[in-house]
């Protein structure tokens, strides 16, 4: 088995890693949590914060990040 390596999209000059997400699923969330729990600072840029995290539930991506205390910010289409 080949070990998986996760590297967020980019790192800020202060050492904080940034991951930009349009949609977020269970696999992505687990990677972000594991990265944070390994001692790294990470913040998530959300393009679609109000999209449902899981189609069978009412939880949004924003709510899921708040549940796991993962900092996030909004990325508007006009920002890129």
C-alpha span between 10 and 63 (Å, rounded)? 24
Q: Which contacts of 77-80 are long-range, i.e. CB under 8 A and separated by 24 or more positions?
A: 77/47
Check residues 5 and 66 and name the one with the higher pLDDT: 66
Q: Which pLDDT value is given to residue 78?
A: 65
Check residues 12 and 52 and name the one with the higher pLDDT: 12
Which secondary structure element, helix H or strand E, spans residue 30, and what is its range? helix 26-37
Cβ 70 vs Cβ 41: under 8 Å? no
Mean pLDDT of 28-45: 94
- Which tokens go with 41? 């600072």
- Which tokens go with 18? 């940034």
Mean pLDDT of 3-22: 91
Q: Which pLDDT value is given to residue 11?
A: 96
Q: Mean pLDDT of all residues in the chain? A: 87
Nearest Cα to Cα of residue 46 among 58, 30, 35, 60:
60
**In order of start, what are the domains of the chain with their CATH numbers?**
12-79 (3.40.91.30)
37 pLDDT higher than 90: yes
């Amino acid at each position: 088995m080949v070990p998986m390596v996760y590297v967020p999209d980019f790192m800020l000059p202060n050492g904080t890693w940034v991951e930009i997400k349009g949609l977020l699923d269970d696999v992505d969330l687990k990677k972000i949590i594991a990265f944070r729990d390994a001692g790294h600072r990470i913040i998530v840029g959300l393009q679609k914060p109000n999209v449902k995290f899981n189609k069978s539930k009412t939880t949004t991506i924003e709510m899921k990040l708040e549940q796991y205390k993962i900092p996030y910010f909004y990325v508007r289409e006009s920002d890129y």
